[in-house]
Structure 1
Amino acid sequence: MTDGNWTILISVGVTFLFMLGVPVFLVIGYWVIGMSLVLGLPLINTGSALADVFTDGFALLAMPLFILTGDLINRSGIARRLSDFAYACLGWLRGGLAMASLGACGLFAAISGSNSATTATIGSMLHPEMVKGGYDERFSAATAAAGGTVGIIIPPSIIFIVYGFLMNLPISELFVAGIIPGAMMVGGMMLVAFFICSRNKWGHLIRLELARVLKTGLGAWLGFFAIGLVLWGIYTGKFSPTEAAGVTVGFCIIVGFVSLPIHALMGRPSEERDFRERGISEYLVVQGFSPLELPSITMRSAQITGILAPLIAVSVVMQQILSVLGAQEIIGDFVRGMGGYYAVLFTSMAIVFFAGMVLESLPVTIILAPILAPIAASVGVDPIQFGVIFLVGASIGFITPPYGLNLYVASGVTGVPYFRLLRYTVPYLFALLSVWIMVALLPALSTILIPSG
């Protein structure tokens, strides 16, 4: 049997495994090992490549730290305070709780940097409240899934770290470049939520009260401080992304430890009382957590890192094998053959979109970014702008079936079956695609905030 036939056979085999639900890491790993044997590549090279990804990549250390940050702010109660503030600002509008969920996703993403953590946290907190408030359970679950897409766009972002590491771009500039597109994604999805809820008369309206906004805003001060700390440190160059992640983790741990005894002295948890009944002091302190809980929180974060880190490593090896097979040249020649600036740009976007339908954002980024980014640069696309374009497209893949990782996460935390989410995911998908096109056509949306010089 020829090498080409073996390649087809192995590729079909692992595709079948993927359809059966085998984890993506194992699917790619089986393909890598099988193709290494077919091409006569020593397996020791695979092991060395896996090790080199992390021993030579200081920037990737930020990934587990930002994942831990997401778990810490959720457990400490900071995430709940951010969602309360968003609801106080938007609850007077039809669909206000749905829009507050999306706003809370944006605020949570500005600390955690993870799409799945954003979907899981906001979905588990606000889905029951939305259903209780008269929203369709399918719509509320789809809202959590769609809102989580901004988790990898609004800085800090785990996938921006990976992209910057691969393409040798300043991660701090990528972070800043994602601010406006991320805000636009949240705004576009809020408009969708407003129109859907207005048409269906979903949601119980609350009065817009300045006292509620001020009190909940005061209650979310720790979350705002954490967001400001990360953005200030990265924007001014005081912190590298990895250092910013470490500082944020330290801040969240201190907040958790200090808040717990103070919160306990107050007796009844403030979250159980109406905002009018709560004193100012109750808004200044979150629930917190004890030092004894820290190992379990860390272990949960480590489990997520243990899923993502091997996937990054094995995807890098997959990229190397694809290079040996000439896949990069084939895709590169195809894209170059499209012609000029816009043809190359939109062809690249189409490739990213369809790849995101069947693969998670990490392998999409690791496999396609080194192929498409140099071609885009050769026709005049700014490298930072293309990074944002690429990753906005990858984020949309989180709600596009058949893969749609956020759909699985939302289904898991809400109990709504996967396929029942799809109907209300489609309007959000169109909103995100509209924003994506705007980001592609208007480079200033990605680059205007980046400090010159």
Structure 2
Amino acid sequence: MLITLAVAFFGLLLLRVPVAAAMGLSGALALLTSPMRLPLEVVPQRLFVLIDSTSLLAIPFFILAGAIMERGGLSRRMIGLAEAMVGHWRGGLAQVDVAASAIFSSLTGSSAASASATGSIMIPAMKRAGYPAGYAAALEASSAAIGPIIPPSIIMVVYGSLAGVSVGDLFLAGIVPGILITIGLFVVNYIEADRHGWGGAEKATWRARFAAARHAVAALITPLIIIGGILFGVFTPTEAGAVAVVYALGVTLFLYRSMTMAELGRAVADAALTTGIVGLIIAAAGVFGWVLALERVPTTIVATVQALTDSPWIAVAIIVAFVLVIGCFVDVTAAVIVLVPVLHPLGLAYGFDPVHFGIILCVALVYGNVTPPVGLLLYLTARIADCSVTEVMRHQIPFYIVLSLALLLTILLPGLVLFLTRI
């Protein structure tokens, strides 16, 4: 059954079948050909079981809040704030793109939403300023990858739900790796700008900076409401998502008055489409993961790694390498669902803090967003930049170095990563 599952899954991926369909179909085929003679009714049952979770209701709420903010023009306010703060640095537009993506990531928790919102504005602006299309797309893809790391994070909600780990602690622990990636991207931009002569804009006055901050401050409060409410026990992550939606509506409809009812309808439609895609991925991954569990793959992997080494650091190196390979082929949300039941017990067996181990996996899975052949952000930003994925990949290497260093520091410095959770 396991061979059938693997061959069918990778065969469907090679045929460019969407990941959700590939996981669901390969899982169903494995069950059909199983010597256990399991009834096909098991497939819809497993599709439903995983998504029948109250904690996962946070996902559509966060997606809707992000869609409302994007349609309500908050991405432009974020870009205006970033431009006032860092636009005068060398490689100014590129630095603005990184800062705006980091800020917007803290509002949506979705890399795709961040790439769409900031990329649709910043990539054309960078091309007009003389930046290569491939570089602009690669930078935006890498910047948007911060989305699943800086809270709120959709994949952390999924991870916490499956592993029984505090989502609030995961949110707090994701802040440091997110900041490390942001700083690394700033440094790469500075070096590339120095090589190619990309200058910055005129330095904004402090009055202009305060004005930009005033225009964006209501939006910037959103992550504080979400994280603060969860940590102080005011509401659960699911309730936090609902509060974020209500707050986003209040800001865009009544405070800024930047969104019409027609635009609100389009935001709801966008969120419904994205939620449907994510839900289908989660459900299909549930079938796929259940087949793995039937074949005792989690137990086998734990026993195999423990037989190879007693060192937790060698073990985590093996785990990260495995996750990076999986991330090359599987959507990041699906990868979380499939890998958590397999790898979470392994992390606990080697004595890793469950929150720290969860952040390691989440940062490693970020590679899935920017790694071919499935990397969603590569294709999304290449389409916005009107260039090929091959051209984007030519400029991607220094950004992979940034992600690698951030991952290494996340692994080696648990005290730094968990610092905010222990305050």
SS in 2 for 1:35: helix
Counterpart secondary structure, 1:151? coil
Aligned counterpart, 1:129:
125
1:392 aligns with 2:363: yes
Shift of 1:325: 1.9
**1:111 touches 1:230 (CA, 8 Å); kept in 2?**
no
For 2:302 and 2:173, locate their aligned partners in 1 and report how far apart those are by CA, in whole Å.
26
Q: Structure 2 CA distance, aligned partners of 1:342 and 1:9?
A: 33
Q: Distance in 1 between matches of 2:98 and 2:233?
A: 29
Which amino acid counterpart does residue 206 of structure 1 have in structure 2?
A: E
1:258 is aligned to 254
Name 1:405's counterpart in structure 2.
376
The residue that corresponds to 2:138 in the other structure is 142
The match for 1:272 is none
Pairing 1:342–2:313 present: yes
Residues 31-52 of structure 1: per-residue CA shift (max 9 Å, x gap): 0110111122222222122222
3-state SS of paired residue (2:273): helix
CA deviation string 1:19-77 (max 9, x = no partner): 2221111111110110111122222222122222222x111001011111111111111
Determine the structure 1 residue equivalent to 2:270: 300
Matched residue type, 1:400: T
1:45 and 2:42 matched: yes
CA contact (8 A) 1:188 1:431 kept: yes
Which aligned pairs between 1:29-428 and structure 2 lie closer than 5 A?
A: 29-39=24-34, 40-55=37-52, 57-259=53-255, 285=256, 288-336=258-306, 337-428=308-399
Query: Would you say the 8 A contact 1:69–1:252 is kept in 2?
Result: yes
Match of 1:269 in 2: none
Counterpart residue type for residue 39 of structure 2: P
Name the TM-score, length of structure 2 as normaliser: 0.95
CA contact (8 A) 1:349 1:390 kept: yes
- C-alpha separation in 2, matches of 1:439 and 1:384: 12
Quickly say closer, same or farther: Cα 1:143–1:339, change in 2 above 3 A. Answer: same
**Are the aligned partners of 2:86 and 2:96 in contact in 1 as well (CA < 8 Å)?**
yes
Larger Rg: 1
Q: Distance in 1 between matches of 2:155 and 2:4?
A: 32
Greater CA deviation, 114-123 or 409-418? 409-418
**After the TM superposition, which segments of 4 or more aligned residues of structure 1 sit over 3 Å from their partners?**
7-11
Aligned length: 420
Aligned residue for 1:178, secondary structure, equals: helix
Structure 1 CA distance for aligned equivalents of residues 408 and 229 of structure 2:
30
Query: What's 1:24 paired with?
Result: 19
Question: Take 2:167 and 2:143, find their aligned partners in 1: how far apart are those partners?
Answer: 23
CA distance in 2, matches of 1:429, 1:421: 12
Amino acid at match of 1:220: A
User: Shift of residue 13 of structure 1?
Assistant: 3.9
Q: Using the alignment, how far apart are the partners of 1:110 and 1:26 within structure 2? A: 30
One-letter amino acid of the counterpart of residue 345, structure 1? V
Identity of aligned residues (%): 30
Higher relative contact order (CA 8 A, sep 6+): 2
Are the aligned partners of 2:47 and 2:283 in contact in 1 as well (CA < 8 Å)?
Answer: yes
Name the CA shift for 1:350/1:8 in 2 (closer, same or farther; >3 Å).
Answer: same
Mapped contact 1:155–1:176 kept (Cα < 8 A): yes
Residues 149 and 175 in structure 2, CA contact (< 8 A), matched pair in contact too: yes
Shift of 1:291: 2.1
Amino acid at match of 1:28: M
- What is the TM-score with the length of structure 1 in the denominator? 0.89
Shift of 1:160: 0.2
- Taking the aligned partners of 2:230 and 2:177, their CA distance within structure 1 comes to 18
In structure 2, C-alpha distance between the alignment counterparts of 1:189 and 1:365, rounded to whole Å: 25
List gaps (5 residues or longer) in structure 2. Answer: none
Shift of 1:326: 2.9
**Aligned-partner Cα distance in 2 for 1:353–1:240:** 31
Q: Which residue in 2 is equivalent to 1:279?
A: none
Partners in 1 of 2:238 and 2:100 — Cα distance? 24
State whether residues 152 and 223 of structure 2, in contact with CA within 8 Å, keep that contact through their aligned partners in structure 1: no
Which letter does structure 2 place at the counterpart of 1:93? W
Compute the displacement of 1:193 (Å). Answer: 1.2
RMSD value, Cα: 1.6
Q: Give CA-to-partner distance per residue, 1:391-412, whole Å, 9 cap, x none.
A: 0000122111222111011122
Aligned-partner Cα distance in 2 for 1:41–1:419: 44
Change (3 A) 1:239 1:451: farther
1:91 Cα shift?
A: 1.3
Provide the C-alpha distance between the structure 2 equivalents of 1:417 and 1:218, rounded to a whole number of angstroms.
39
Write the deviation string for residues 117-138 of structure 1: whole angstroms up to 9, x where unpaired: 1111111011111112222221
Cα pair 1:79 1:223 within 8 Å, conserved: no
Q: Which range is displaced more, 202-211 or 104-113?
A: 202-211
Report the alpha carbon displacement of residue 9 of structure 1 after superposing the two structures with TM.
5.2
CA distance in 2, matches of 1:237, 1:95: 43
Question: Is the 8 Å Cα contact of residues 123 and 144 (structure 1) preserved in structure 2?
Answer: yes
Task: Give deviations 1:90-124, integer Å, cap 9, x for gaps.
Answer: 11111122111111111111110101111111110
Distance apart, 1:328 and its partner CA: 2.0
Where 1:152 maps in the other structure, the secondary structure is coil
User: Alpha-carbon deviations, 1:220-246, whole Å to 9, x = none?
Assistant: 112112232222212322221111111
Provide Cα deviations, 1:234-267, integer angstroms capped at 9, x if missing partner.
23222211111111111111222225xxxxxxxx
